[in-house]
Structure 1
């Protein structure tokens, strides 16, 4: 039986080759004059930020760049961004880049518009005042942040990721330009691609899964499964970039409607405690979580296998996990915790933290402390 649901698209999506050129037109529709583009140094070096600035200045819109933030933006990064926005009388925020740029843009907007600190918005629906309009422009094929109303901000002291969400934190417009993703380094494609795949597969089976989210999850998985390998070896291929970008966006839309599960809950403590890149941590845990969930998500795993042409055999969960492991093998990323020098005596603490992660509650099969211990041991 399907879960009851309500669905309203929070973001207008503009897709097409060279659609970055429409940024000025979109910004102008909000009748603003001063814009901050939140982006990282890699995007600046690739020339994308300058193109965005030029597109805006041609319409007499003042565009400033803020890039003083980390790969996983912290509460301190957000504070610096808020101060920058205040000093420059910013009226609209553009998040240009990967998930870090878009998360930082949202974080800045929370505090700039509503005051307080990021901890005040940990959870969902805590922004009491209207927020500035935002535009999201992804340059990676991974996080799907352009389609979500959450900002993931790390506590600068504890390094724990806080999911801060609110309907008002959704981008008013998301611009999907596959030309922008052609400049991704292969290392970024590996990490963000696996992350997008995990979004599709986890959102497909969560307790909050519904008819709407399922449609996004299934089609996202189909696109990502078919094109991820080619993306690694032909990163500038136009068709591949297009399909990966749409797949990543659909995965984000699925998360927005159904949340995530134990793979993300177990990956986040690895990033927090050992500095493992999020996509790499997901690669370590996702196959084990799929096998763990097999008894509670068999029918859905069969659908995922069927849509991607995977022979099921005796267990769809095992078949799907093997396919995911094959996709991970193309990246040549490590597949066990030992490769990151994580000792076995760290597992108990990792499991304790994983049980507190917000996504654990949405996993289709209940996952307690001892279950996370088992999952980490399997990843050793």
Structure 2
């Protein structure tokens, strides 16, 4: 047996997984210092009642609550700045995020600027915050990004439309509350695009160059929860067992990312969102099978472990085919032509994707020409 590689991992915070746990938000938050909460959420959740339930639970626990509900998909510096202004007006000392990955990321971004000042670009990279940050709680309402398990905030640069990864352990949620019941309200399209993103997190983190025994344990657990449950939640949206598996799988995948990294699939997805407004999960699902095929020569043995295939030579194609079937079952597009991408823009997309940080952690080394090859395979 090969000697395991060295690694250095810092677990982030408390995880509470329980059906109905949103109703315990106030009680659970009591373990943290603070009395004036900024509740960060998005306006689309109001119809499901999740922000209202969160506010009620917090107020019953004695908190003053100020709601910031202007989070948009792929939050920009503007949404973060608006949230900071709201936080300052209320003199908050605690942050709670209720929503999908965008709400989680925006809450972390607000925490950076509220406590350390400056602009989000100042924190691109990791460990750039020099001052303490506020304690925070994350309550994901989707089974997708796993942002509640990570110390990074992904904030979009409004001028370039490209995402900035701003990481700091101080920005991580002290408590993550996983309540599968809140994911029952997800529309089918949201279930599909967030679910396929979580699947990609499991697959990419399992084979990336920063993967280690701990992160691969998380990745494999994520895959084993997500892969058999994805089509079930699409066809049986009220199946709470499958919803629970999806949410746990998404969180495990987020833990894997935090302990390792991703790969070139996410690098390829971001320019598609920037240029065409393609939903992140749509872009991910479209590109992932082609990335798996590209990585096959270097990652075949790991893909074999993931898919349960004895042959490392056969595993990449078998995994890519399984992923394509999942994307098809979700009713998501299978080619770049399907989403209106012009073939002539592929070299520009490849150039921009090559600048994305996750490409550097792909198991097979990539350059601009390699990424162009992947895009052409997906076109």
Which of 51, 64, 84 is residue 62 of structure 1 equivalent to?
64
Displacement of 1:32 after TM fit? 1.8
Q: In structure 1, what is the equivalent of residue 233 of structure 2?
A: 231
CA distance, structure 2, for counterparts of residue 36 and residue 100 of structure 1: 16
CA distance, structure 2, for counterparts of residue 80 and residue 298 of structure 1: 46
Taking a change above 3 Å as real, the CA distance of residues 86 and 366 of structure 1, as seen in their structure-2 partners, is same
Structure 2 residue 334 is the aligned partner of structure 1 residue 332: no
**1:4-153 aligned within 5 A:** 4-153=6-155
Q: In structure 2, what is the equivalent of residue 175 of structure 1?
A: 177
Displacement of 1:2 after TM fit? 3.3
CA distance, structure 2, for counterparts of residue 339 and residue 260 of structure 1: 25
Preserved contact between residue 34 and residue 62 of structure 1 (Cα < 8 Å): yes
Superposed CA offset, 1:141-182 (max 9, x none): 100001000000001111110010011111000000011100
SS at the partner of 1:212?
Answer: helix
Preserved contact between residue 155 and residue 164 of structure 2 (Cα < 8 Å): yes
SS at the partner of 1:179?
Answer: helix
CA distance, structure 2, for counterparts of residue 272 and residue 52 of structure 1: 33
Preserved contact between residue 25 and residue 57 of structure 2 (Cα < 8 Å): yes
Displacement of 1:44 after TM fit? 1.6
What runs of 5+ residues in structure 2 fail to find an aligned partner?
A: none
Taking a change above 3 Å as real, the CA distance of residues 205 and 314 of structure 1, as seen in their structure-2 partners, is closer
CA distance, structure 1, for counterparts of residue 180 and residue 286 of structure 2: 28
Please provide the CA RMSD for this pair: 1.1
Preserved contact between residue 265 and residue 355 of structure 1 (Cα < 8 Å): yes
Q: In structure 2, what is the equivalent of residue 205 of structure 1?
A: 207
What runs of 5+ residues in structure 1 fail to find an aligned partner?
A: none
TM-score by length of 1: 0.97
Aligned length: 377
CA distance, structure 2, for counterparts of residue 245 and residue 265 of structure 1: 24
Superposed CA offset, 1:217-269 (max 9, x none): 01100110010000111112110111000000000000001100010011111
TM-score by length of 2: 0.98
Taking a change above 3 Å as real, the CA distance of residues 313 and 4 of structure 1, as seen in their structure-2 partners, is closer
SS at the partner of 2:97?
Answer: strand
Structure 2 residue 376 is the aligned partner of structure 1 residue 377: yes
Which of 153, 159, 162 is residue 161 of structure 2 equivalent to?
159
